[in-house]
């Protein structure tokens, strides 16, 4: 569902190749949606068949040939419709799916030392992610200068704030959990 709409959203910024889309995806949307290269090509193919895209082969010398995709009117329409949906499915879209939390749930079956280690590693990862976010914020700021479209960058920043809040909450929770685990 959302891989398709992510690709539509990116192509709305301008025509791109599958390769470029794959890169753009993993740079900008990766935090809240992940996609493999092979999947991107498959979906582009399907989307072209649905009439949301058209593609054109560009012959290059010195470099491999490439296929440039562009959004059609019907693709743009689909994007706008998806963005404007009444969103009855908000509950679905905010669902957590975490094998890590499942391990925590069943951690009573292993020894407390191991469980504590696992939680410390989680805390560490949150801290590292938070540290890495500074760079993301720099890159959004750079794009802001180039794009100079406040209507767009405003929302980019809001999603960035989410990731910050998410890791911060994870870290604070891990601290609480570690205190509980050590206190008994």
Partner DNA sequence: TTAATCATGTAACACGTTACATGATTGC
Partner DNA sequence: GCAATCATGTAACGTGTTACATGATTAA
Which does residue 23 bind out of a second copy, DNA, none, counting CB within 5 to 8 angstroms by kind?
A: DNA
At 23, list the tokens. 């890169």
73-84 helix and 2-11 helix, angle to the nearest 10 degrees: 120
User: Which of 59, 64, 108, 109 touches DNA (CB under 7 A)?
Assistant: 64
Asked whether the beta carbons of 48 and 4 are under 8 A apart, the reply is no
| Site membership for DNA, residue 121 (CB under 7 A) | no
Distance CA 135, CA 150 (A): 20
Which does residue 26 bind out of a second copy, DNA, none, counting CB within 5 to 8 angstroms by kind?
A: none
Among 31, 22, 7, smallest CA distance to 160 is for 31
| Site membership for DNA, residue 23 (CB under 7 A) | yes
Q: How far is the CB of 98 from DNA (least distance, A)?
A: 11
Distance CA 71, CA 77 (A): 10
| Site membership for DNA, residue 19 (CB under 7 A) | yes
Which does residue 84 bind out of DNA, a second copy, none, counting CB within 5 to 8 angstroms by kind?
A: a second copy
Q: Which is nearer to a second copy, 42 or 154 (CB)?
A: 154
Distance CA 93, CA 83 (A): 13
Environment class of 160 (CB within 10 Å of its CB; exposed 0-12, middle 13-18, buried 19+): middle
Which does residue 161 bind out of a second copy, DNA, none, counting CB within 5 to 8 angstroms by kind?
A: a second copy
Q: Which 28-57 residues touch DNA, going by CB under 7 A?
A: 34-39, 41-42, 45
Distance CA 71, CA 79 (A): 10
User: Which of 15, 26, 31, 66 touches DNA (CB under 7 A)?
Assistant: 66
Q: How far is the CB of 17 from a second copy (least distance, A)?
A: 20
Q: Could you tell me how many residues make up the chain?
A: 184
Distance CA 144, CA 149 (A): 7
Which does residue 114 bind out of DNA, a second copy, none, counting CB within 5 to 8 angstroms by kind?
A: a second copy
Binding-site ranges for DNA (CB under 7 A): 1-4, 17-20, 22-23, 34-39, 41-42, 45, 60, 62-68
């Amino acid at each position: 569902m959302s891989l398709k709409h992510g690709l539509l959203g990116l192509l709305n910024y301008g025509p791109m190749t599958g390769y470029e889309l794959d890169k753009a995806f993993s740079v900008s949307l990766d935090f809240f949606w992940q996609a493999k290269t092979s999947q991107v090509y498959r979906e582009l193919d399907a989307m072209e068949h649905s009439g949301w895209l058209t593609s054109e082969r560009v012959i290059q010398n010195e470099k491999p040939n490439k296929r440039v995709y562009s959004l059609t009117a019907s693709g743009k329409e689909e994007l706008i419709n998806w963005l404007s949906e009444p969103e009855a499915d908000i509950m679905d879209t905010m669902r957590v799916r975490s094998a890590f939390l499942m391990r925590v749930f069943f951690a009573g079956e292993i020894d407390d030392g191991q469980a504590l280690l696992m939680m410390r590693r989680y805390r560490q990862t949150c801290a590292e992610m938070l540290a890495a976010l500074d760079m993301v914020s720099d890159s959004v700021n750079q794009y802001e200068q180039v794009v100079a479209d406040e209507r767009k960058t405003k929302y980019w920043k809001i999603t960035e704030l989410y990731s910050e809040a998410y890791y911060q909450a994870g870290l604070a929770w891990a601290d609480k959990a570690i205190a509980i685990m050590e206190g008994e």
